[in-house]
Amino acid sequence: MRIATHCTEADVAAQHIATARELGMDVAGSLVMAHMAPSPVLAEQARLMESYGAHCVYVTDSGGRLTMDGVRDRIRAYRDVLDPGTQIGIHAHENLSLSVAHSVVAVGYAAQHRPPRPAAPRTPPGEAPQRTGDRPGRVLP
């Protein structure tokens, strides 16, 4: 289960993450609008989600405003503060036509998760396609 909060409000997810864990769910935290918080602030919010029980925390570029350097800096900051067993995810948006590049950069800096999305042309508006020009409806692992 993914539990999302604004990038500076991870504390509001404490009860939701704890309850999901009590129910035996695999929990991912998602810090949306990641461009609005500097890397160290975002990483501290990720650490809070981890402390509440999240197995994975996403850098979520829901505004589609991050550059590749911004993605790199945030993934590095997460890795610096999170336990090595906590997974890192990237949820990139296509607003600047950089979502695939963001995903490649994030994986290069130890992100393990990327939400599965149908390949273009069925990708929802703004979402990162898995592979441009791939067969419609095919989801990659």
Percentage of the chain beyond pLDDT 90 is: 58
Q: Identify the residue with better confidence: 141 or 29.
A: 29
Q: Which of 5-9, 25-29, 60-64, 111-115 has the lowest mean pLDDT?
A: 111-115
pLDDT value at 100 more than 90: no
pTM of whole model > 0.85? no
Catalogue the E-assigned strands of 16-107.
28-32, 56-60, 87-91
Dist. CA 18–CA 27, nearest whole Å: 9
| More confident position, 42 or 97 | 42
Looking at every residue in the chain, the average pLDDT score rounds to 83
Average pLDDT of the segment spanning 4-30: 97
pLDDT at 138 over 70: no
Is the bond preceding residue 121 a cis peptide, omega within 30 degrees? yes
Show Cβ contacts of residue 43 under 8 Å, excluding neighbours closer than 6 positions.
Answer: 74, 77, 78, 80, 81, 82
Give residue 110's pLDDT band: very low, low, confident or very high (50, 70, 90).
confident
3-state DSSP assignment of residue 130 = coil
Residue 32 pairs in a beta bridge with 6
User: What does the pLDDT look like over 48-94, one tens digit per residue?
Assistant: 999 999 999 999 998 888 988 999 999 999 999 999 999 999 888 87
What is the rounded average pLDDT of the residues 32-60? 97
